[in-house]
């Protein structure tokens, strides 16, 4: 897939918006907060794999959401796309008949953030297509109300996110990378992973002592090489087959395999994997029924 795929493509009567997935280049847990949520410190990067949202004039009043593509998504108010559009029209004080076709190319429950990215694409797309003229501050408020990490997808391709994930600190440096993305046919519940997470202050202190100085120097490549994800143990405790997949893939490719978010997706950094990927992908599919694809960093 091209690195230069645009985010918006307008035709005479429609607007296509691409919603990129993300990977976590590092993910630390600071501990449980007074509000019951876990504090996180994570470096996130968008990748060039997209869901797509097509905005068209609706034939009836209100929001018509149609979901299609390789993976299922709800087509009612439980979908973040529907709720994002609804909230934006309420804030704008205008109800417009709109038809949104969501093409799900990225599976949910993989730690790739597709639902959050879809929601961000929804507010940006509807604002532009319907001429609602809402400022960025309103878009950010809506996204923050819908979920902790949605605001990340409103910004640049690389950011350090803290708090519950809602505090976005853009990283104004380019980090170009290639990776083999592993997408097992397993849906992981983020809620369940956090419920099974056992916090280690010692591990957090050790990892943050390594990562924070690198972050100050914007050495993103060095942070990515550490391959730190403190949710990994909780994910693997619930899904032992994912731990086996990681170990097998590391043995096959001779380098670290990193979990994205709370899983189930994993990735292996390295442009040279493009040459090795046919054989490696065949083995992953044969032995683990694991899909995989070669991806790059996204440029927006």
Burial of 3 (0-12, 13-18, 19+ CB in 10 A): exposed
Q: How far apart are CA 280 and CA 16, in angstroms?
A: 34
Backbone angles phi, psi at 190, to 5 degrees: -60, -40
Q: Cα angle vertex 27, ends 219, 194, to 5°?
A: 175
| DSSP E strand stretches across the chain | 8-10, 14-32, 38-57, 63-69, 98-104, 158-162, 167-170, 178-184, 258-259, 266-269, 290-296
Catalytic residue, candidates 12, 22, 167, 221: 22
C-alpha distance from residue 183 to each of 187, 270, 284 (Å): 10, 17, 10
22 carries an active-site annotation: yes
Residues 6+ apart with CB under 8 A from 271: 177, 178
Whole-angstrom distance, CA of residue 142 vs CA of residue 136? 10
136 tagged catalytic = no
Please tell me which residue in 51, 118, 149, 246 is annotated as part of the active site.
149
d(CA 68, CA 249): 32
List active site positions: 22, 149
């Amino acid at each position: 897939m091209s690195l230069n795929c645009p985010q918006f493509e307008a035709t005479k009567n429609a607007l296509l918006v691409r919603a990129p997935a993300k990977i976590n280049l590092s993910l630390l847990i600071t501990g449980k907060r007074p509000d019951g949520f876990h504090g996180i410190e994570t470096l996130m990067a968008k990748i060039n794999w997209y869901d797509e949202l097509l905005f068209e004039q609706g034939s009836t009043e209100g929001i018509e959401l149609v979901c299609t593509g390789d993976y299922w998504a709800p087509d009612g108010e439980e979908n973040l796309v529907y709720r994002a559009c609804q909230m934006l029209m309420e804030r704008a004080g205008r109800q417009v008949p709109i038809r949104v076709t969501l093409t799900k190319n990225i599976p949910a429950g993989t730690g790739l953030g597709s639902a959050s990215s879809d929601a961000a694409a929804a507010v940006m797309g509807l604002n532009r297509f319907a001429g609602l003229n809402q400022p960025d501050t309103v878009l950010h408020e809506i996204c923050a109300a819908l979920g902790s990490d949605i605001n990340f997808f409103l910004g640049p391709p690389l950011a350090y996110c803290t708090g519950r994930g809602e505090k976005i600190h853009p990283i104004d440096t380019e980090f170009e990378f290639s990776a083999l993305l592993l997408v097992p046919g397993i849906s992981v519940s983020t809620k369940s992973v956090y419920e099974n997470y056992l916090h280690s202050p010692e591990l957090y202190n050790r990892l943050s002592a390594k990562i924070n100085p690198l972050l100050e120097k914007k050495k993103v490549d060095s942070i990515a090489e550490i391959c730190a994800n403190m949710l990994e143990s909780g994910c693997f405790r619930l899904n032992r087959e994912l731990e086996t997949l990681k170990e097998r893939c590391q043995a096959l490719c001779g380098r670290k395999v990193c979990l994205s978010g709370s899983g189930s997706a994993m990735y292996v950094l390295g442009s040279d994997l493009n040459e090795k990927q046919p054989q490696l992908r065949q083995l992953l599919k044969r032995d683990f029924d694991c899909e995989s694809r070669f991806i790059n960093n996204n440029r927006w």
